[in-house]
Amino acid sequence: MDVKNLVTMIISNLKPHLFQHLLTIYPKEEIESFYKLLLNHFNLTQVDVALNTRIEFNNLQLDFIKVAIAKLKQEVPIQYILGETEFYRLRYYVDENVLIPRPETEELVDWVISDYKNNTKKLSILDIGTGSGCIAISLKKNIPNAQVFAIDISEKALEIAKKNADLNSVSINFIQSDILTATDLIENFDIIVSNPPYVRLLEKELMKPNVLNNEPSIALFVDDDNPLIFYHKISELAQKYLKNEGALYFEINQKFGVETVELLKNHHFKNIELRKDFYEVNRMIKGIK
């Protein structure tokens, strides 16, 4: 049946309906993920499905399912369709003005938290290129004695980040700024962390259409001839505005692990550590001033 002509559906038919309409576009595992996310969006679980197989979706839910399937066919990310996602056990609003937070970035956040969770002094933290605010908010939530600042060039992204800070009941100091043209920072920091744009334009052809055609390019791409431009600039500012023994953390392009280590050395950072993510590729780096 054409999804537009759908007038009724019981809960147990949702999964087969998704498979019917999406299997030519997505792998089975991804459709399973869509199914679980849609159930969660309706505050339902797979246990509910097992116990109440004949319950019908109401008209609002059915309309949402129709729109969701139509957009999934156009390869719109499910997170944008739902308007929300989860990151480091917290809920976030997302739309096309911000990148969808990735599991790899959770690993970066976890590294910072692990290093400072037992710290007793009041820390100052700066997140550069905050997007949805997921890094800054997760750090504030888990290091509550910290004062957290977050910078982004996009006014629309900052609106989403502020909404997410309210959603998660944390106070963040948001600043609109283009870090590439910044000559100074607002104060000195114990920690500077950034997941800046790092995908080269030549890597576009390797990216999935759902990312390439929907997520904000300003937050993804850098010129092929200067792929570490943000790392140079942020390292330069960090060397001036980190406190003594302060830490700089980056998420990085897996192809530039060695080059990013050299970059931090050239900016006089010490105790440099390069880490792999769960895919076993170079993804995170830390240096101490």
Kind and range of the H or E element at 243? strand 242-251
- Distance, in Å, from the CA atom of 94 to the CA atom of 98, rounded to the nearest integer, reads 6
Cα-Cα-Cα-Cα torsion 51, 56, 61, 67, nearest 10 degrees, comes to 110
Tell me if residue 193 falls in helix, strand or coil: strand
Which residues have C-beta within 8 Å of that of residue 184, sequence separation ≥ 6? 237, 240, 241
Statement: the pTM of the whole predicted model exceeds 0.95: no
Q: State the number of CA atoms in the 13 A half-sphere of 150 facing the CB.
A: 30
How big is the CA angle at 146 (ends 127 and 99), to the nearest 5 degrees?
25
267 close to 257: Cβ distance less than 8 angstroms:
no
Type of residue found at 132: S
160 close to 133: Cβ distance less than 8 angstroms:
yes
Q: Phi then psi for 49, rounded to 5 degrees?
A: -60, -45
- Distance, in Å, from the CA atom of 134 to the CA atom of 105, rounded to the nearest integer, reads 9
Kind and range of the H or E element at 156? helix 155-167
172 close to 151: Cβ distance less than 8 angstroms:
no
The region, left, alpha or beta by phi > 0 then psi within -120 to 50, assigned to residue 282 is beta
Tell me if residue 176 falls in helix, strand or coil: strand
Give, for all 289 residues of the chain, the pLDDT tens digit: 455 555 577 888 889 999 999 999 999 999 999 999 999 998 888 787 778 777 888 889 999 999 999 999 999 999 999 999 999 999 999 999 999 999 999 999 999 999 998 888 899 999 999 999 999 999 999 999 999 999 999 999 999 999 999 999 999 999 999 999 999 999 999 999 999 998 888 887 777 888 888 888 888 888 888 999 999 999 999 999 999 999 999 999 999 999 999 999 999 999 999 999 999 999 999 999 9
What CATH number labels 97-288? 3.40.50.150
